[in-house]
Chain A
Amino acid sequence: MTLASVRPTSKSMPSFSRRQLFFTLYVVGIASVATANGYLGNTAVPLLVPHPVQVVQGLLMVFVVPGLSLVCVAFPELQSWVERLLASVGISIAVATCAAVLIAALPMGFSRQPLEESLGWVAVTLSLGGLCSARLAPAVEALRAWAVREFRGLARKISIGFTDGAPKRSNPAVSRKHKESDVRRSHVVLRFSFDDKPADPRA
């Protein structure tokens, strides 16, 4: 609720939990596709789903799973679980409505299989993307840190080489400008955040 608690760049949850979540979504998506086909994988044995399971799976596929997959993959800055859940349900309903209308507008017409398959594939694709990004995230982070470290080292070397070992004298006008800028920016911060209230428009 305060500015101090806003960390837009931090991840919303640990990567292990994210991977677990993506894996769950992936399983639900695959189950949805399998149920839509009526068969499990390439086996010729029909998939008989008990009605309570079908109810739970159907409700999840229409109201939660597509949106949750998208939110977890593309919008990690939604920190609060309430916001995440609400956004998931809103996106899922929009996706399911558009998908159902689109399928009904096609020549094949509206039926269970294409709808369930399309929603299932949305969940599978997004969760696979999320899984990949979650697994690759530490490697990418390490690569980025290495690149930054190398760049800074290189810049330092160039700077030392340019001034021939002597530290470069700073420009007093520039440093004064920076200080003024700091003061001004800190005013902005204090105005609207630290007193925990909206800025007084009369001020």
Chain B
Amino acid sequence: MRSLTRETLIEYLFAATALLAVGILAGIFLLLFTEGIPVFRYVRAGQFFSWNWNPNAYDQPDYGILSQVLSTLLVTGGALAFSIPIGIGAAAYLSEIAAPRTREFIKPMVELLAGVPSVVIGFLGIVVTGPWLARSLGTSNGLNALNGSLLLGLMSLPTIVTITEDALRAVPTEFKAASLALGANRLQTLVRVTIPSAATGVIAACMLGMGRAVGETMTVLMATGNALAPPQGFLDSVRTMTATIAIELGEVPFGTAHYHALFVIGFVLFIFTFLVNSISDLILLRFQRKMHG
């Protein structure tokens, strides 16, 4: 009897810890919402849908967030353009081609990459990739969206490689055996059978990598120049939503329009990452059902 109550007590405790995460998420949502809403006392909603962001302007403040949203999309899109092909290629190699010993060596290395602090990657962007881009593209400097994309691609690589590899390895060997038996070579099997069967898992991996790139702050803050002008292309300096919050929240006077406007950006960003992560989770779930159900 005594052990039973203890058992239930511990069960409740663990349930509480699990619920804590949900509670915190709901709390963050609520906080961003309630802190963001008061901005509409000072600023019309329409002002957010313009290009200029300049809350502590010399004379007339502007609260347009479109330039930042575009910057975030640009950098993230560029990052995925690097990391998806490389990530899928690496995962295919690891799961299908590499000898077990090679895989045991490479996989932990890729995972280790995920542990490199973002400030270190940002530093890399300033001293290595930035100047390199400037030299090879003939621009005066390399603090632009492309530099950010390169680094964020690097940072989302571990997520993409690990999850894609899991997905590829979950493909039943019968599929591959059947394909090989029909006369397809290994490359044809990989491209036409294995990867398509794992498609949902691969897509989920890319979406999670995207979530990583969208939310990344320090690296883009250091490597992309943070100019406020709406970017015209990858060679323009950009200021992402995350960078704006990081730069401005430290000094903004509490309770001002600027303060609340930063929470609006946070809210937009939250919705963005929430959607990306939810969709990828749904896809992943479907994939697991398909493979195991």
A binds B: no
**Footprint of A on B, CB under 8 Å?**
none
**Footprint of B on A, CB under 8 Å?**
none
